[in-house]
Amino acid sequence: MLTRIHGGRVIDPTAGRDAVGDIWIEDGRVVAPSERKPDRTIDATGCVVMAGGVEVHSHIAGGNVVMSRLLLPDLYVSESAPNGHPFAHAGGSGSWIGANYARMGYTTAVEPALPPSNALATHLELADIPLLDRGGLAVLGNDDHLLQLLRNGEGKQAVRDLVQQTLAHSRGLGVKCINAGGASAFKDGVLKLSLDDEIPCYGLTTRKIMSALLDAVEEIGVPHPLHVHCNNLGLPGADDSLVATLEAAEGRRIHFAHAQFYAYGVVDPENPMTGGFRSAAERINAAMEAHPNATYDVGQVVFGQTVTISLDILRQFGGRKGAKPKKWVLSAGDAEGGGVVPFLYRPRGPVSSLQWAIGLELMLLSSNPERTILTTDHPNGGVFTEYPRIIHLLMDAEERAKEIATLPAVVGERSGLPKIEREYSFSEIAQLTRSGPAKLLGLTDRGHLREGAKADVAIYRDQKDRTAMFSHAKLVLKDGQPIVEDGEVVAWFSGKTLSLDVEADAGMEKRAESYLQDRFGAGLDTFAVPDAAFPENTGTFEDVACRA
């Protein structure tokens, strides 16, 4: 079927396109304008046309996500699916995630924490999310096998082979490194870890572990840079950790997760014990300007009740005292461990307000939105359904000023947000939410509307109220087929799970088999992700090619 989207304002920063025009679609792809009469014409007059949104960092599947639902059932009431719903077998959670992303015009989402030991369960949960293509980032940096190789000085080739074997067996789209060495150090009583602190038992440092993973990712050709969760998240002075880690990358590609939680400078550098923190957004952006090899997603805070989910057990242990309500779960098992800690970002509270301001400041100071990806680190900074409101605040300085006027004076005293007059354009929003994350993940067939792209398209009514505009798309196409009309899902189906096209080294497979049998009494097959495990109605895997 040949489809023509006619008369809309087409926004595609990858093609320098911001003008009224047409998009032509055939067989699920964007095609060149045709002389043939279209089989279907979509009138987009008065609308903004963009590629489907791409989510690079959202906790939507995995053991800690399930645990958070058990710990805080009241928070997840809205996820319930009606009787007879075609994806009700997922308990409603998957359908809620897929539907709410799709309503906002998103068509791809990535879970950033895929533990290799729990890969099958996580992929089964991802497969229960309809309407979206999805994927996961394999987590490495605290597992004993990797740390043993490094401790024994076995060299780059062995580390590379282990990383490649892990990607192949977990079917990951990339590699995530979470407070490297922190989970191991925690088991030996360490409560704070910095880049060059020694990790007991292994005699390693975060720097050495991260550097080995950076090299491996480059040598394998993983499209997505190493996805790094630094030391000392959320602490005053965390900006030092991010900048030091950035410099330690030594020009290698690196992506920083939820940078807002690291943009916390000490109030008085001459007296670090002074209470609280101040915005370090200017410093973080200056460092990014000086290091074009780096990108980051924001981790914007929004007000209200949420739950923090992280495999960084060291920081989750430290944050348990601030749990609201007063209940939490920590797991110090093999490799990552992690924890679930409920948290309330207090509306109009001084600390929460400053966190809210810092995330916006990071985005508004950025000279390159394509390297500055919009996330809330869902649900850690707040629910992803707040993206339309965040976009509104970025695009409308007057609306932003109204919001700031309701907040405590600390926002002006410890951040530069009130002085920023910049307003994002539609093209910059598309970079922040479409082309930037797609390029970051190596997904060359989406995030743009050029010829050959997947026909994932979002059409929005152009409204002054940007919150309303981006909350409910007029029309969303997935692979050229309508899935949302006027903010309501009109067709339910399963997308594909994206995974990197890599093959495990035969020698490392034998070593990994021996290691796992010795440690767990179970081999690689126990941790594999076979196609046969997935029902036919949950879609299939799609290979993503490595870089040359």
Distances 65 to 61, 141, 218, 322, 378 between C-alpha atoms, Å: 6, 20, 30, 19, 10
What are the tens digits of pLDDT across the range 135-178? 999 999 999 999 999 999 999 999 999 999 999 999 999 999 99
Q: What is the mean pLDDT of residues 27-36?
A: 96
358: left (phi over 0), alpha (psi -120 to 50) or beta: alpha
Number of alpha helices (DSSP H) and beta strands (DSSP E) in the chain: 18, 24
Q: What is the mean pLDDT of residues 280-288?
A: 98
For the chain, the average pLDDT equals: 94
Give the pLDDT of residue 234. 96
Give the pLDDT of residue 89. 41
Give the pLDDT of residue 76. 80
Q: What is the mean pLDDT of residues 221-225?
A: 98
Interatomic CA distance for residues 522 and 527, integer angstroms = 9
Residue from 133, 148, 144 nearest 53 by CA: 133
Percentage of residues of the chain with pLDDT beyond 70:
96
User: Maximum Cα–Cα distance for the chain, whole Å?
Assistant: 72
User: Contact at 8 Å (CB) between 265 and 323?
Assistant: no
Interatomic CA distance for residues 245 and 260, integer angstroms = 15
Instruction: Give residue 274's pLDDT band: very low, low, confident or very high (50, 70, 90).
Output: low
Q: What is the mean pLDDT of residues 128-132?
A: 95
Q: Would the pLDDT of 238 be above 50?
A: yes
Q: Which domains does the chain have, with CATH numbers?
A: 47-495 (3.20.20.140)
User: Contact at 8 Å (CB) between 299 and 259?
Assistant: yes
Distances 232 to 312, 452, 540 between C-alpha atoms, Å: 10, 43, 38
Q: Which residue has the tokens 């890969």?
A: 119
User: Contact at 8 Å (CB) between 256 and 230?
Assistant: yes
Q: Would the pLDDT of 87 be above 50?
A: no
Interatomic CA distance for residues 461 and 4, integer angstroms = 18
Q: List Cβ neighbours of 463 (8 Å cut-off, separation of 6 or more).
A: 469
User: Can you read off the two tokens belonging to residue 37?
Assistant: 């009469």
Interatomic CA distance for residues 29 and 457, integer angstroms = 10
Q: Where are the beta strands (DSSP E) in 329-430?
A: 329-331, 338-345, 372-373
Q: Which residues face 50 on adjacent strands?
A: 458
Entry pTM: 0.96
